[in-house]
Structure 1
Amino acid sequence: MTRFRSQTALVTGGTGGQGASHVRAFHAEGANVVIGDIDADRGAALAEELGARAHFTKLDVTDETSWSAAIRAAEDTFGGLNVLVNNAGVQNPPAPIEHTDQAIWSRILDINLTGTFLGMKVAAPALRRAAGGSIVNIASTMSIGGTAHYAPYVASKWAVRGLTRTAALELGRDGIRVNTIHPGVIATPFINEPAAGATAAIADFYSPEPFAIPRLGEPADVTRLLLFLSSSAAAFITGSEYVIDGGLLLGPALQSEPV
């Protein structure tokens, strides 16, 4: 399929479990892909694997100058920017609020929230120069309810929701759509491995058994939704939120037939 032929997509956190899935899928659909990540070795390797129409740029999402260089790389290499995926994110080691270090709080919000803000700020003029496009911000089901011991992450992702809606209002008349995806528990190292400073992984606290769809999500599940929202098929959708969690937020499914 070639839904994104002659278009350019920039994916942040592009070497991670979900990010690499998104990058490969955009590329397979005909897009030029710009892989934004702080991991230069993995980013360069992914670009080399994909070959033509793939470019790696080292990107620190907390730094506006780094963002400007990434957008410039997209325009210089491929002639423009049509899609921005704010996918980069980090998790805090679990701790109650009263035992959460302020430095950890600041780091999580810098990457997850400020990184998303800066991405939209710097990319908007480029998307406008391309006569419009799509921004998709990756949030979380933790941005819809509270989750004990994850205050920095929860706060950052709740804020992304409001930021997305504001950007959708500001950019809609320029033909730029802005939406969020809220993944549940997706089987990636982000979920299956402990965050820095933690001793347990998020997956250790979740069993998919009660979900309406009793399995963990796969990166491809999120990627398919992302491709739809980024494409012309979603041309009338902006400021919207899409939960993809196998029914996690619905509550437990019935384990037996009612009497």
Structure 2
Amino acid sequence: MKGIEGKVALVTGAASGIGRSTALRFAEEGAKVVLSDVQVDAGQEVVNEIEQNGGEAVFFEADVSKEADVSDLVDETVREFGGLDFAHNNAGIEGTPNSIPDMPLEDFQQVVDINLTGVFLGMKYEIPHLVENGGGAIVNTSSVAGLTGTPNLAHYYATKHGVIGLTRSAALEVATEDVRVNAVCPGAIETPMIDRAAADNEKVREGLLASEPVGRFGEPEEVASAVVYLCSDDASFVTGHPMVVDGGFVVP
């Protein structure tokens, strides 16, 4: 894709799933990649894979719910590679299912802290560097959960709706600074999150599969392609957009 080679990309939640695939895809396109996660060993394994394929990458441990961690992460990225061009704010958790009356506040707050505050903090510290660098692009991971609703996952769905709101507001704030801000909204993707949701319950997996009109789960690489496209020059007139990558999930 145009405009990726030689640039610097930061990916959070990069140890597995969509984040891992996005880091690998950025590297394939010639970007220098900074990976971050709380899973240190798995994150370093992705770095090793990138390096074995001739790419440049480094891993920094960071908890996106902690402001100091995010600030340090962005600073380390700039120190390591001399700047920042792209960011994929991807780290997130699904939370423990529960009804709103029965949901402990700490459970709700944990999902908000990681899924929503984490995206806010990412942009808070990424945007100044992108502006100083003369432009760039941010992609935040929302979900089809940001466009729909379901019982017993109010915390997750609320945060994913919030990510779209943050994305649209940020896009307008920096529209004249040559910085674009978009989101991806994945459907049911074959990731560890799906595995956890369907653990020891094949009916859950079957139900998730039935929700996909195309008759299959998406692959993390398919979402990664959308993320890298949104960062590329091919998407130079796209900003404030929640791009759905869901096999038709939200159509019916």
Structure 1 or 2, whichever has the larger Rg, is 1
Distance in 1 between residues matched to 2:201 and 2:75, nearest whole Å: 39
Residue from 100, 124, 129 that aligns with 2:103: 100
| 2:37 paired with 1:33 | no
Residue from 63, 67, 83 that aligns with 1:64: 67
Distance in 2 between residues matched to 1:19 and 1:29, nearest whole Å: 15
The letter for the 2-side match of 1:244 is V
Residue from 127, 131, 139 that aligns with 2:130: 127
| 2:144 paired with 1:110 | no
User: What's the CA shift for 1:204?
Assistant: 2.8
RMSD, aligned α-carbons:
1.9
Distance in 2 between residues matched to 1:192 and 1:13, nearest whole Å: 17
1:213 matched to which residue of 2? 214
Give structure 1 regions of 4+ aligned residues with deviation exceeding 4 angstroms.
Answer: 198-203
Q: TM-score, normalised by structure 2?
A: 0.93
1:156 matched to which residue of 2? 159
2:181 matched to which residue of 1? 178
1:10 matched to which residue of 2? 10
Distance in 2 between residues matched to 1:240 and 1:202, nearest whole Å: 34
Distance in 2 between residues matched to 1:183 and 1:6, nearest whole Å: 27
Distance in 2 between residues matched to 1:155 and 1:189, nearest whole Å: 21
Distance in 1 between residues matched to 2:188 and 2:203, nearest whole Å: 8
User: What's the CA shift for 1:206?
Assistant: 2.4
> Percent sequence identity over matched residues?
38
Q: TM-score, normalised by structure 1?
A: 0.91
1:256 matched to which residue of 2? none
User: What's the CA shift for 1:93?
Assistant: 1.6
User: What's the CA shift for 1:96?
Assistant: 1.1
Gaps of 5+ in 2: none
For residues 159 and 73 of structure 1, do their structure 2 counterparts lie closer, same or farther at Cα, with a shift above 3 Å needed?
same
What is the number of equivalent residue pairs in this alignment? 249
Q: Secondary structure at the match of 2:101?
A: helix
What are the superposed Cα offsets for residues 220-242 of structure 1, whole Å, 9 maximum, x if unpaired?
A: 11111111101011111111111
1:91 matched to which residue of 2? 94
For residues 183 and 28 of structure 1, do their structure 2 counterparts lie closer, same or farther at Cα, with a shift above 3 Å needed?
same
| 2:146 paired with 1:139 | no
Q: Secondary structure at the match of 1:45?
A: helix
Tell me, yes or no, if the aligned pair for 2:180 and 2:240 is still in contact at 8 Å.
yes
The letter for the 2-side match of 1:241 is P
**Greater Cα shift, 42-51 or 75-84:** 42-51
What are the superposed Cα offsets for residues 77-136 of structure 1, whole Å, 9 maximum, x if unpaired?
A: 111000010100001121111111111000000000000000000111111121110000
Q: Secondary structure at the match of 2:174?
A: helix
2:231 matched to which residue of 1? 230
Distance in 2 between residues matched to 1:171 and 1:215, nearest whole Å: 37
Tell me, yes or no, if the aligned pair for 2:188 and 2:212 is still in contact at 8 Å.
no
